[in-house]
Amino acid sequence: MLDSAMAALASLADPSLLLMLLIGTVAGLVMGLIPGLGGTGAVAILLPITFGMEPPQALALLIGALAVVHTSDTVSAVLLGAPGSASASVTMLDGYSMAKKGQAARALTLAFLSSMAGGIIGAIGLTLAIPLARPLVLSFASPELFMLTVLGVALAAVLSRGNIIKGVSAGLLGLVLGMVGTSPTTAEERFTFGSLFLGDGLSLVAVALGIFGLAEIASRASQRRGQKENISLGGGWGRGIREWLSHWTQVIRGALIGIWAGVLPGVGATAGTWLAYGQAVATAKDKRQFGKGDPRGIVGPESANNSVEAGDLIPTLLFGIPGGVPSAMLLGMLLTYGIQPGPSIITEHLDLMYLIVWSFAIASILGALFCFLSVKQLAKLTKVPFAVLAAGLVAIMLLGSFQEGGQLGDLWVMIILGVFGWLLKSTGFPRAPFLIGFVLAIPLERYYFLTDSLYNGLDWMARPGVLVFLAILILPIVWAFIKFLRARRHSNVDDGHRDERPEDDESQLKNSTWSLTAAGIFAAAFSAALISSASFSPEARLVPQLVSIGGLIFSGILLFTEIRTWLRTRTARVGWTLDAGFALKTFVWMTGFLALTAAFGYLVAVTIFIPAFLLVVARARLKTTVVYTLVLYVVLLALPSLLPIDLPQGWLNTLV
């Protein structure tokens, strides 16, 4: 193992690997500043660039971005009181308080150094997990691997914030969507409806960018105003370094909490940072300064949010269970290269495991260094209105989605799933279980049939490892269900004593109407999948039908609950919210851009869509619009000669 670790470190002397690591680090820092993107957006946008690369270069690029997204999202939280991500909101409590006192440099020093340390400690944790978990992983057979895939989807659904029934329904629907295409057991096509395009299944990049990327743009594109920079950096860099050294125990505790939060599927950086902040408050003798500029309120959470991403990689690489959405996409990339996480990655690709470790640690150091050197420039980016950024992001995301399959159909799928992702976000459905289910669908089915062919009946369920995984699966579900019942009981009590206010009823009806619509879509999708799967062969329809039946049960419960909620508020006035209207208009703009691409080609579509969107939607100045469009056009024109990227050609281009 030491030889593999040293070989991985030596491989980083390759200029191409170092270049990819640097590009990933810079891209991760920039995307960390853009609200709503974070690690999910960074990996999803960079993932298409990896197609055609060798696995080491691809991993260096993605790990470089993943390691630093939580390093830069602190800049806007401290300087502007507007966190770049939900996890950075914890840092904002004390960091922004320091900045208002003229101590922004001190707060940023604490944050950058803690993020760097959290990334390094997370990489050490991943390193230690390899030899510790290796005997366990190598003892796994197909029954344990099957249970692990089930466990990954279930825990992501149960442990996600919000309604457990919504989480399970989303995970099951992701499984169904992941089964579109060729069956891994019988090689027959399923849910393709005779379409050659669907024969290879749906693109992971299109699904991820649609559910998360386009949905986030539609939710935030109405933000036409940027943040006003009203706080200077000031001094205090040296004081921040001394304080950080004096709170080294908080740094270590925060990093360990982050690793633990990352190992648990669906918990994520936000919960990890709040847990780290909670332990900092609980272990402090003097709690009066928390929220008013206490350095302990920065070092613990900032250490945790970077180590979470390393913690996510432990179950992803060693057990094939993605800890979060970015690691789910990373898992999908490994599968496309034929690298199977679990026993095979330890025995056949141990050098890649250590390459990930080294890349994560080095990127964490580089990210902190770049932030120290360019914090003023990074802060300027946070002042750009999101509507202005949205124009370029739409163009980049659609281009990225095209790279995996080279088909315009992927772009239409991406927009359709973008609408669906916006609906999920607006109605409180967790989207992480959906994507994790999509990624794990084929491995789950493959391991199930391998288990079924090797064991008689249910004998495999008596294996010790399977029993342990069953216990791990059942206990959180029971606990989450108890919490759900308690929450329902308390909400019913509150509803019985609250004052009648028409404006609250109207808001509730809007929410319940959208939730009812979403529940109806889930029930209809599972029903259609169950009916369609009846025409498959017995082997090909078994797992889809089991998943569809489970989905019908959960979506039926959800539909019944939503109908009751809707009926209780039926006397209120029905209407569209402003956010829903603007989101619809944004998706219409995206559809227009795609129609232009299909007709005239990508470059022509960009020259029409970008200025029109900037002038009409973002209400940008004419000078800004012209410069923005020209720069983006030149970059896109040069991109195919620099990277393995193809630009979509329109129908008219093919006729010429």
Final residue of a domain: which of 441, 456, 475?
441
For residues 78 and 93, give the distance between their C-alpha atoms in angstroms, rounded to a whole number. 9
In-domain check, residue 569: no
Report yes or no on whether pTM surpasses 0.95. no
Residue 520 lies in a domain: no
Examine residue 546 and state whether it is found in any structural domain, yes or no: no
User: Counting runs of H as helices and runs of E as strands, what totals does the chain give?
Assistant: 27, 2
Domain membership flag for residue 544: no
Task: Compute CA 298 distance to the chain's CA centroid, rounded to the nearest angstrom.
Answer: 24
pLDDT of residue 351: 85
Q: What is the 3-state secondary structure (H, E, C) of 550-564?
A: HHHHHHHHHHHHHHH
Q: Is 291 helix (H, G, I), strand (E, B) or coil?
A: coil
Q: Is 181 helix (H, G, I), strand (E, B) or coil?
A: strand
Assess if residue 60 is contained within a domain. Answer: yes
Q: Which domain holds residue 610?
A: 585-655
Q: Would you say residue 454 lies in a domain?
A: no
**449, part of any domain:** no
Place of tokens 């933000």: 223
| Residues 107/94, Cβ–Cβ less than 8 Å | yes
Backbone φ, ψ for residue 233 (5° rounding): -70, -40
pLDDT at 504: 39
Tens digits of residue pLDDT in 291-329: 778 888 888 888 988 888 888 888 888 888 887 778 888
Would you list the DSSP string of 195-231?
-SGGGG---HHHHHIIIIIIHHHHHHTT---PPP---
- Buried-exposed string 206-237: b where 16+ CB fall within 10 A, e elsewhere: bbbbbbbbbbbbbbbbbbeebbeeebebeebe
CA separation for the pair 363, 61 (Å, rounded): 10
List, for the chain, all residue ranges whose pLDDT scores fall below the cut of 50.
493-510, 573-574
- Name the DSSP class of 49: G
Q: What is the pLDDT of residue 526?
A: 95
DSSP state of 277: H
* Structural domain total, the chain: 2
Q: Which of 441, 460, 483 lies at the terminal end of a domain, its last residue?
A: 441
Contact in structure between 569 and 509 (CB atoms under 8 Å):
yes
Q: Which of 441, 469, 486 is the last residue of a domain?
A: 441
How high is the pLDDT of residue 588?
93
Q: Cα angle vertex 207, ends 202, 210, to 5°?
A: 140
- Residue 587 has phi, psi (to 5 degrees) of -70, -30
Q: From start to end of 94-176, where are the E strands?
A: none
**Structural domain includes residue 451:** no
